[in-house]
Structure 1
Amino acid sequence: MYPFVRHLRLTVATLSCCILTATVWAAPAKPQLQVTGYVINAELDPAANKLSATAVVSFTALEDLTAPVFELNNGLQISKVTDANKKPLEAERLTNNSTVRFNLATPIPKGSSTSFTFEYAGTLKGAETSPVEGIKLASVEDPISILLYAGRWFPMVGLFTNRFTAEMHIRVPGNERVIGSGSGVAAQKSLPGNKTEYTFNWSKPGFPGTIIAGKFIDPVTAGNMRVYVTEKHKDYAHDFASQAEREFLFMSGTFGQLDSSRMNLVELPDDAISAAWAPEITAVAGSRIAARNEQRLLSNTLAHQWWGGQISPATLNDAWITNGMSRYAELMYLEDSAGKTAFESAVMDVSAGALAYDTEPLSTLGRLDPFSPQFQSMTLEKGAMVFHMLRWEMGDEVFNKFLRALLTQYADKSVRGSNVEAVASAQSQEQMTPFFAQWVDGTGAPAFTNKYTVFRLGDNKGFRTIGSVAQDLDLFRMPVELRIETDGKTETRRVDLSGTESQYSVETFGRPRRISIDPQNWLLKSTPDLAVRVAILRGQQQVAQGDLTAGLIEYQKALDANKNSSLAAYRIGEVFFMQRSYQSAANSFRDALRGDGDPKWVEVWSHIELGRIFDLTGQRDRAVNEYRLAVQTNDNTQGAVNEARALMQKPYKREQTEN
């Protein structure tokens, strides 16, 4: 599944803020038909923002079909549809959910295969006709046109779940290149009228439904990576390719080799989604490439070649498998490249996202709009935590074998939650049903309390600690790590918990001074710190929707839970800045500087925001001083130091259209 996430700058979890607007979701409870393949001929006219296409759609009826329904972008008008016998069909447009319905005089029997031929055209520009409100997924423009799979630019069914083959013939102006899945460059030919046609073939069932065209310069290569960017971003192409090559090699070593090792890295327009993927394609917004802050976004998107491409969810109830594992692959690469501390910090952020909307079991999320905050947060963040906890239960070696076994057994197929459970049980040689019942079929997370008594052992043999761990979920059953800090060395123990209270006994040579439950955050659990993070995350999502008042309410909840939260104060300052309440914003940014300093980047960005406020209020000397303080932090998170240096040279001015 695509990592369809809208990235606010410096979110609680760098990649956790999800798409926050959505159209009506009306996917059928049970699929009516299975599309097996496409033959598409399409022409792009960027000058007129127009797409013209013919699509032959081959499909099999999964039930007796009297009124088949296909999804199609509202910006595209159908001029003609014929069945396999060239007989015209009448199509009914349903714009409320971007679908086309046919009322057939003669039903198509269950199990039979046939085809429809669609002829259609229309204007695709910006996000006006997008199936997801406010998010550009299909647009024919200069210098980059995007026809993303989720943009429904061709008649389709089973978003993210229906695997298909595709043969595509794409015609564009002669000065443009086209990137698609399969053999593209080798099948390029010139046509009259200064046009070029690119042909792409993807012969095994998958999701080869994305086409990106534009005025891309000659590709930059690094290993098997080929980078396509516009002239504007050519200086960043080599570093982007090198970063992708490192990440791709890590994932190939972890998950196994893909059938195709070729990867096209493509620039997306800045006003589109942050990232998208298709077989052999990883696309990232040009601004993220230029800012060199795409590392985690890139690793998440690359991971979908395995988790979404090699295997895919059988239904949207199973989307936590591929979305969650793509997020966790991102964290695994972070652990490998940046170390354990960065990894543990990211896990805390993901935990906050997992708890933000935890009112619906993962196994029943298919009834929700796949672009809704709850669906995105749960499948990405809680899905990732499910795999994180599986890793803790299994151990690293068995966990890696489990991942490879899952990818091997279901290669080029769809996978269900029950399949994941079966493979996990087989690889761990443990009955994993209780684990999946708790974390996939249930909701909530335990809140641990620990009581213990320390006894001195005779003959100078040390100390025995007898205690109990209590939590509020009656069916909870998992191992947990205890960290025992003593007068001497710190020791760890693994204790099996079951039910609302579990006893333990630990012997140490030194006297225990403190005992921590799950100190490395292997388990998803409720803590006061996470309550603060969850409130901030929900506030960010409200602000992204444009509801600043609701965002402030959530941020205030975070401050009520932790009055020293630098992050909550910073977020409140952002909202006041948006509202042009500069004095209130400045007060909040100063509170952020006086707070707990978590996360560290709040310091550098608070100085920058204070500098901007001083610039806007005509106090240039004070502004420059704040920018200088920002540079002195030597913290270049999200390009902060670069931004501060630029602002030292040129005062900040708020654009008239800035919201």
Structure 2
Amino acid sequence: MRLPQRPARLIAALAVLCLSTLAAYAAPARQQINITAYNISADLVPASNQLTAIAIVTFTAMDDLPIVSFELNNGLALTKVTDGHNTPLPSERLSTNSSVRFTLATPLAKNSVNTWTFEYTGKLVGADTSPVEGIKLAAIGDPISILLYPGRWFPMTGLFTDRFTAEMHIRVPADESVVGSGSGFAAKKTLPANRAEYAFNWTKPGFPGTIIAGKFLDPITAPGVNNIKVWVTDKRKPGAVPFAQQADKEFEFMSGIFGQPESGRLNIVELPEDLGASAAWAPEIIAIAGNRIVDYRNASRLLANTLAHQWWGSKVSPYTLNDAWITNGMCRYAELLFLEDSAGKNSFQTSIGDLSAEALAYDTEPLTTLGRLDPYSPQFQSMTLGKGAMVFHMLRWELGDDGFYKFLKTLLTQYTDKGIRSINVQNLAENIAVGDAKDNLAPFFAQWLDGTGAPAFGDKFSVFRLGNNKGFRTIGAITQDLDLFRMPVELRIETDGKTELKRIDVSGNDSNYSIETFGRPRKITIDADNWLLKSTPDLTVRVAVLRGQQLVAQGDTTAALVEYQKALDANRNSSLASYRIGEIFFNQRNYQSAANSFRDALRGDDEPKWTEVWSHVQLGRIFDVTGQRDRAVNEYRLAVQTNDNTQGAVNEARASMQKPYKRETTEN
């Protein structure tokens, strides 16, 4: 169990289904074709896991092309491909990068518009044929079939950068429903042989490439919320209405800060739980793993992040993978903006600390060059999500709330149905900024988009008493280790009387200041509200723990233990590092070592607070599986006494007090 904040697997999963591929699938330096429209007719046969489809693809050649390539799931075989003149086109399958290649007798002319027809079929079952290792993105089965856009279940290019329109006709067994982008349920048509057809038509350039079919109940709505429909199997019915109500709150909040999305309709659809990821999105679609729909209270941040893609991904998209930080980062920050609105400033500030660790975990490449990295790597994901979100957080500090929200709405309006470049973000921010902020933004973007690292701040100062009872003058300098860094920084001066705030323009290694206060300064804090991405001793611990979590998610527990040990080397009292080590030992059934680590977590710095309650729960489980029921009950009782129900800890403890914890034989 990985608790309770954003586990590495969840972060990775969101990135995968938002914008990610393996290295082999990264977009070429120069895009060869621009696909503009699809007309797809597909038959799904869950009993045999079979997909059979015809895709009519309209595209423009971006250059004179003797060779044309399309990405296509390795589980699908082409049976026939013809051009606009009905001439057959021989193809070559390249399984190493899930693509098919056509060597043409007559090259396509630059700027020519072409229409090719692809006929193909195949079995889609697990993740073996998936373009993304370990993630099942396209599978036909019972009770739910998934054809997610990143699964390349139709010929495509330019993942989440090449926008297109799509008309789709999907045929399934008559007892199944189909969800897609554009009107579908009302377009159901009954067919012979106990089959049904659903029609979808998305006419705006975007990414309407996801189809989910299954034995869903009739769509469920919450009272007074008619624009949100929830599609679930009978097993997940209890979570449908509460989840719709939560989605409505988040949808209303985001519409307020971003403006209206391209569609006011939203379909929340159940995903299978063996997908390897927790969420996916498409225009009008939020797809969530079934167990997360039932656990709606703990899925609000996952929902917020996924929902934000109706604006940041659907309404606008990255121009290239080098610009992926814009949409990935803004979805991550939208999640925190909703947290700030719903849970308050303290929860928001805690999450900014986690976000800073995510931003610096692999900060060795500028954001604007990430397109040359493996987009499925921890580095790409951590930076586009974490550092991308921190760039928006710091930009909010530069522009102020009013300017920042104006900037977001304007960006979405100006680039609706288009791709956004990093320079577009900078130019618009500079146009909206006023006063000193306008001059600060060029160095701001140079530092955070084109540079790496974060400043480590220091403060050296002296306090002098002023005559005639006029108070005190503090003369000092903010120090930091990045010679080219320039940005305003806030000082908080706590005195015998009122707390003073002072904005200091930091430039270079030393920036002098002079501050007068009536009361004697007792404590001076640099950036107390965490508006800036900065290097601190505490962050060193968080970064090591995050890297460890990501390694655990990849199955490399040995390397993860090394990272956790780095965290303990930086802070011997880190409860979080000790807890994560205990998790590994518990999963390995090394119960004595696990118990020692959970006790270390209880004796540590209690950061974050939830480590206390969950360490007691985990100790209780260890005593249960080792036949020491009395000691187990005592630990569960201590967990309940904390009154900390983070991720349902108190509920878990109370249940285990009534019935001993029993480890499933299938657990690792």
TM-score category of the 2 structures, normalised to the smaller one: over 0.9
- For residues 77 and 649 of structure 1, the distance between their equivalents in structure 2, rounded to whole angstroms, comes to 55
Per the TM alignment, residue 652 of structure 1 is displaced from its structure 2 partner at its CA by: 2.3
In the alignment, is the contact (CA less than 8 A) between 1:296 and 1:334 conserved in 2?
A: yes
Per the TM alignment, residue 351 of structure 1 is displaced from its structure 2 partner at its CA by: 0.4
2:513 aligned to 492, 504, 520, which one?
A: 504
Structure 1 position 10 matched with structure 2 position 4: yes
What do you get for the CA RMSD once the two structures are aligned?
1.5
Q: Report the counterpart of residue 94 of structure 1 in structure 2.
A: 94
In the alignment, is the contact (CA less than 8 A) between 2:8 and 2:546 conserved in 1?
A: no
In the alignment, is the contact (CA less than 8 A) between 2:67 and 2:103 conserved in 1?
A: yes
Q: Report the counterpart of residue 254 of structure 1 in structure 2.
A: 257
- For residues 658 and 93 of structure 1, the distance between their equivalents in structure 2, rounded to whole angstroms, comes to 38
- For residues 248 and 182 of structure 2, the distance between their equivalents in structure 1, rounded to whole angstroms, comes to 19
Q: Report the counterpart of residue 32 of structure 1 in structure 2.
A: 32
Q: Report the counterpart of residue 105 of structure 2 in structure 1.
A: 105
Letter in 2 for 1:378: M
Q: Report the counterpart of residue 434 of structure 1 in structure 2.
A: 443
Q: Deviation string for 1:281-307 (max 9, x for gaps)?
A: 011111112222110010011101111
The secondary structure found in structure 1 opposite 2:104 is coil
Per the TM alignment, residue 600 of structure 1 is displaced from its structure 2 partner at its CA by: 1.2
The secondary structure found in structure 1 opposite 2:525 is strand
In the alignment, is the contact (CA less than 8 A) between 2:645 and 2:651 conserved in 1?
A: yes
Q: Report the counterpart of residue 152 of structure 2 in structure 1.
A: 152
Per the TM alignment, residue 14 of structure 1 is displaced from its structure 2 partner at its CA by: 8.1
Letter in 1 for 2:372: R
- For residues 8 and 395 of structure 2, the distance between their equivalents in structure 1, rounded to whole angstroms, comes to 23
- For residues 11 and 524 of structure 1, the distance between their equivalents in structure 2, rounded to whole angstroms, comes to 20
In the alignment, is the contact (CA less than 8 A) between 1:181 and 1:281 conserved in 2?
A: yes
Q: Deviation string for 1:73-95 (max 9, x for gaps)?
A: 11111111111111111111111
Structure 1 position 328 matched with structure 2 position 314: no
Letter in 2 for 1:145: S
1:365 aligned to 363, 366, 370, which one?
A: 370
The secondary structure found in structure 1 opposite 2:97 is coil
Q: Report the counterpart of residue 205 of structure 2 in structure 1.
A: 205
- For residues 97 and 663 of structure 2, the distance between their equivalents in structure 1, rounded to whole angstroms, comes to 37
The secondary structure found in structure 1 opposite 2:236 is helix
Distance 1:12 1:266, change over 3 A: closer
Distance 1:14 1:341, change over 3 A: farther
Per the TM alignment, residue 641 of structure 1 is displaced from its structure 2 partner at its CA by: 2.2
2:598 aligned to 589, 592, 602, which one?
A: 589
- For residues 167 and 410 of structure 1, the distance between their equivalents in structure 2, rounded to whole angstroms, comes to 23
The 5 A counterparts of 1:228-377 are 228-272=231-275, 273-292=277-296, 293-377=298-382
Note the residue ranges of structure 1 that are not aligned, 5 or more in a row: 1-6
Q: Report the counterpart of residue 47 of structure 1 in structure 2.
A: 47
1:380 aligned to 380, 385, 394, which one?
A: 385
- For residues 507 and 138 of structure 1, the distance between their equivalents in structure 2, rounded to whole angstroms, comes to 65
In the alignment, is the contact (CA less than 8 A) between 1:448 and 1:469 conserved in 2?
A: yes
- For residues 576 and 400 of structure 1, the distance between their equivalents in structure 2, rounded to whole angstroms, comes to 46
Q: Report the counterpart of residue 124 of structure 1 in structure 2.
A: 124
Q: Deviation string for 1:152-208 (max 9, x for gaps)?
A: 111100001000000000111111111100011121111111111100000010000
- For residues 155 and 659 of structure 2, the distance between their equivalents in structure 1, rounded to whole angstroms, comes to 50
In the alignment, is the contact (CA less than 8 A) between 1:92 and 1:102 conserved in 2?
A: yes
Q: Report the counterpart of residue 429 of structure 2 in structure 1.
A: 424
In the alignment, is the contact (CA less than 8 A) between 1:12 and 1:537 conserved in 2?
A: no
The secondary structure found in structure 2 opposite 1:395 is helix
Structure 1 position 529 matched with structure 2 position 538: yes
Letter in 2 for 1:604: V
Per the TM alignment, residue 16 of structure 1 is displaced from its structure 2 partner at its CA by: 6.7
In the alignment, is the contact (CA less than 8 A) between 1:15 and 1:297 conserved in 2?
A: no
Per the TM alignment, residue 126 of structure 1 is displaced from its structure 2 partner at its CA by: 2.0
Structure 1 position 599 matched with structure 2 position 593: no
Q: Report the counterpart of residue 616 of structure 1 in structure 2.
A: 625
Distance 1:607 1:372, change over 3 A: same
In the alignment, is the contact (CA less than 8 A) between 1:97 and 1:131 conserved in 2?
A: yes
Give the TM-score of the pair, scaled to structure 1.
Answer: 0.97
Q: Deviation string for 1:77-134 (max 9, x for gaps)?
A: 1111111111111111111111111101100000010111111111111212111111
Give the TM-score of the pair, scaled to structure 2.
Answer: 0.96
Q: Report the counterpart of residue 162 of structure 1 in structure 2.
A: 162
Distance 1:349 1:16, change over 3 A: farther
Q: Report the counterpart of residue 84 of structure 1 in structure 2.
A: 84
- For residues 634 and 48 of structure 2, the distance between their equivalents in structure 1, rounded to whole angstroms, comes to 49
1:482 aligned to 470, 491, 511, which one?
A: 491
Per the TM alignment, residue 259 of structure 1 is displaced from its structure 2 partner at its CA by: 3.0
Q: Report the counterpart of residue 572 of structure 1 in structure 2.
A: 581
- For residues 657 and 85 of structure 2, the distance between their equivalents in structure 1, rounded to whole angstroms, comes to 70
- For residues 15 and 505 of structure 1, the distance between their equivalents in structure 2, rounded to whole angstroms, comes to 47
2:454 aligned to 445, 448, 451, which one?
A: 445
Distance 1:414 1:12, change over 3 A: closer
- For residues 444 and 425 of structure 1, the distance between their equivalents in structure 2, rounded to whole angstroms, comes to 23
Letter in 2 for 1:435: F
Per the TM alignment, residue 557 of structure 1 is displaced from its structure 2 partner at its CA by: 0.6
Distance 1:494 1:520, change over 3 A: same
Letter in 1 for 2:281: W
Percent identity between the aligned chains? 69
In the alignment, is the contact (CA less than 8 A) between 1:36 and 1:58 conserved in 2?
A: yes
In the alignment, is the contact (CA less than 8 A) between 2:23 and 2:375 conserved in 1?
A: no
Distance 1:427 1:120, change over 3 A: same
- For residues 35 and 6 of structure 2, the distance between their equivalents in structure 1, rounded to whole angstroms, comes to 39
In the alignment, is the contact (CA less than 8 A) between 1:67 and 1:101 conserved in 2?
A: yes
In the alignment, is the contact (CA less than 8 A) between 2:623 and 2:629 conserved in 1?
A: yes
Structure 1 position 143 matched with structure 2 position 143: yes
Distance 1:332 1:14, change over 3 A: farther
Per the TM alignment, residue 65 of structure 1 is displaced from its structure 2 partner at its CA by: 1.2
In the alignment, is the contact (CA less than 8 A) between 1:288 and 1:294 conserved in 2?
A: yes
